[in-house]
Amino acid sequence: MQVPLIQLQCGKVGHESAAAKYAAATETGDFSIESEKPYAELWMGTHPSLPSKNVQTQRSLLDLVRDNKALMSTEISRKYGEKLPFLFKVLSIRKALSIQAHPNKNLAEQLHAKDPKNYPDDNHKPEMTIAVTPFDGLCGFRPLKEISHFLASVPSLRSLIGEEVAQEFEENVSGRETSSRAEDTQRNKKSLQSAFSALMTKDKSTIAAAAKELVASAENDGERFAGGGGPSNGGKELADLVIRLNGQFEGDVGLFVLFFLNYVKLEVGEAMFLKADDIHAYLSGDIIECMASSDNVVRAGFTPKFQDIPTLTSMLTYSYAPISEQKMNPVDYPYVTLNRTAYSSSSSAILYDPPIEEFSVVKTQLNDKGAKATFEAIDGPSIIICTAGSGKIGVGPKNEQVKTGYVFFVGATAECVLESDSESFTTFKAFCELSGKETANGVH
């Protein structure tokens, strides 16, 4: 399958970009990597902005699934308007992506109706991120005690928010930071929204002046920066982060947003899930990303693109928690059979199953030549990408060679067999099966 590649300034450059390397693997003859150009995103799916194509016929996958509804299953085709319910991506991030959130379904419909140029569809966009290389990012609001610590120990942050708002936040959440009582949680979220909005609505010149003070402190204080950091991040780690991000977006409000958000690092294979209306900013790394099929983004920092601060500050959930609560716990995928070679080489098929129906992802790692994984047929569509090694894919009587970067669409009700012809063969499969979302609990 031929998949579209997006060139953005935030992307990794040339052959350093996994997105570019995977795109170049498809033998279409119309793309070659330019060593000085950044390549950020590889899209796999039917989103009308950039639908994938059949390599041989050049027909779009969108046309194919519309003409043959059985490819997705009648139920999925009917429910999702004859389009794949998910969008599968590879992101290669060199420079911070925007501080952003994706609207829920109701808000997406309103934004699209009001401003279709900046909000190109009416769908929500919960998303899951799986690290292919070491990754870091800002994801979700920190525990409130950490935010209070930074308000007390970062003078430039406190001055931007304002003494009155900072004191009100500290008084309202003190002693209730981890309370599970509904009234306390609601009060905490309201206080967090007030403090965060006060920061985001400051004028750019005031932010730029405060940023100079912040960066000077980061350069001079080392481990003592930001009161030595919070429980989640050390002072030197945060100081280095401020200096790094200021080098990319000098004087940006995002330099202060990082004190509100969890700074997370994912090792290869680790994953996290973000609901619609969750704030985040991806900073660096190569990732597999799967999301509901949408391109709606509400931005408010680390970007020269259109920013919609009033919408962002009003739409966020203002949920606060340590990053451990956003990280996923993948499990063995129960509907695959490994042959003896696969078992003896500790091969695996791991399921990442978020709490939504549009998608799940299976990572298959075959660790020896001849290792084979046979996937039971499911009543829904799949897209498979190879990220390392080589092998074969078989669906019914048809067998195809698989190389790193190759992408395949597998229709509903088809058994799929992956077989390695290298010592390490890695694939990711995104799929939708409406009747099978309970598989995360081991029930089918």
The percent of residues above 70 in pLDDT, for the chain, comes to 93
Checking if the pLDDT of 195 tops 70, the result is yes
3-state helix, strand, coil in the chain (%, to 5): 35, 25, 40
**Residue 152, phi then psi, degrees to nearest 5:** -85, -20
Is residue 86 within 8 A of residue 291, CB to CB? The reply is: yes
In angstroms, the Cα distances linking 340 to 103, 343, 391 are 46, 5, 17
pLDDT tens digits for 163-182?
999 999 999 999 999 999 99
Q: At 53, is the pLDDT very low, low, confident or very high (cuts 50, 70, 90)?
A: confident
What's the whole-number mean pLDDT along residues 36-48? 80
Structure tokens given for 49: 């902005």
Is 434's pLDDT higher than 90?
A: no
Judge whether 33 and 14 are in contact, CB under 8 Å: yes
Residue 190 has pLDDT above 50, yes or no: yes
Token pair listed for 197: 């909005």
pLDDT tens digits for 74-101? 899 999 888 899 999 998 898 999 999 9
pLDDT of residue 32: 75
Segment 399-420 mean pLDDT? 93
What's residue 29's pLDDT? 57
* Residues written for the chain: 444
| Chain position carrying tokens 């092998």 | 391
Residue 388 in this model has a pLDDT that exceeds 90: yes
- Predicted confidence at residue 6, as pLDDT, reads 43
Q: Residues 40, 8: contact at Cβ < 8 Å? A: yes
Would the pLDDT of 235 be above 50? yes
3 state DSSP class of 227: helix
353 Cβ neighbours under 8 A, 6+ residues apart: 330, 331, 360, 437, 439, 440
Q: Is pLDDT of 248 > 50?
A: yes
Provide mean pLDDT across the span 369-382. Answer: 96
Q: What is the model's pLDDT at position 436?
A: 55
- The answer on pLDDT for 221 being more than 90 is yes
Q: What is the rounded distance in angstroms from the CA atom of residue 407 to the CA atom of residue 175?
A: 52
pLDDT value at 73 more than 60: yes
- Cβ pair 393, 53 in contact under 8 A: no
pLDDT at residue 52 is higher than 90: no
Quote the pLDDT of residue 12: 58
**DSSP secondary structure letters along 108-126:** HHHHHHH-TTTS--S----
Could you tell me which residues come within 8 angstroms of residue 365 by beta carbon, excluding any fewer than 6 positions away? Answer: 347, 348, 349, 350, 424, 425, 426
Q: Is 44 left (phi over 0), alpha (psi -120 to 50) or beta?
A: beta
| For range 330-357, the mean pLDDT | 96
pLDDT of residue 8: 40
Residue 2: pLDDT band (50, 70, 90) is low
Mean pLDDT in residue range 262-290: 93
> What pLDDT, on the 0 to 100 scale, is given for residue 444?
29
Range name among 199-213, 334-348, 427-441 with the lowest pLDDT average: 427-441
Q: Tell me the range of 96-100, 216-220, 317-321 where mean pLDDT is highest.
A: 216-220
Can you tell me the distance from the alpha carbon of 40 to that of 17, in angstroms, rounded to the nearest whole number?
7
Q: Write the CB contacts of 186 (distance below 8 Å, at least 6 apart in sequence).
A: none
Cβ neighbourhood burial of 104 (10 Å; 0-12, 13-18, 19+): middle
pLDDT of residue 5: 42
Give the model's pLDDT for residue 13.
55
From the list 66, 142, 299, 340, the catalytic residue is: 299
DSSP H helical ranges for 115-203: 144-153, 155-161, 163-173, 182-200
11 versus 394: the higher-pLDDT residue is 394
Q: Is the confidence at residue 229, as pLDDT, over 70?
A: yes
Residue 138 confidence (pLDDT): 95
34 band by pLDDT with thresholds 50, 70 and 90: confident
Point out which residues pair with 271 in neighbouring strands: 130
Task: Give the pLDDT of residue 4.
Answer: 46
Task: For 6-20, write each residue's pLDDT tens digit.
Answer: 434 444 556 777 777
pTM: 0.89
Transcribe 317-380 into DSSP letters. ---B--GGGTB---EE-SSEEE-HHHHHTT-EEEEE--SSSS-EEEEEEE-STT-EEEEPP-SS
Q: Is residue 28 predicted with pLDDT exceeding 80?
A: no
Active site residue 78: no
pLDDT at 259 over 90: yes
Please say whether the beta carbons of 279 and 127 come within 8 A: no
Percentage of the chain beyond pLDDT 90 is: 69
**Nearest-angstrom CA–CA distance, 360 and 271:** 12
Beta-carbon count within 10 A of 386 CB = 23
> Whole-number mean pLDDT of the chain?
89
Q: How far apart are CA 254 and CA 229, in angstroms?
A: 17
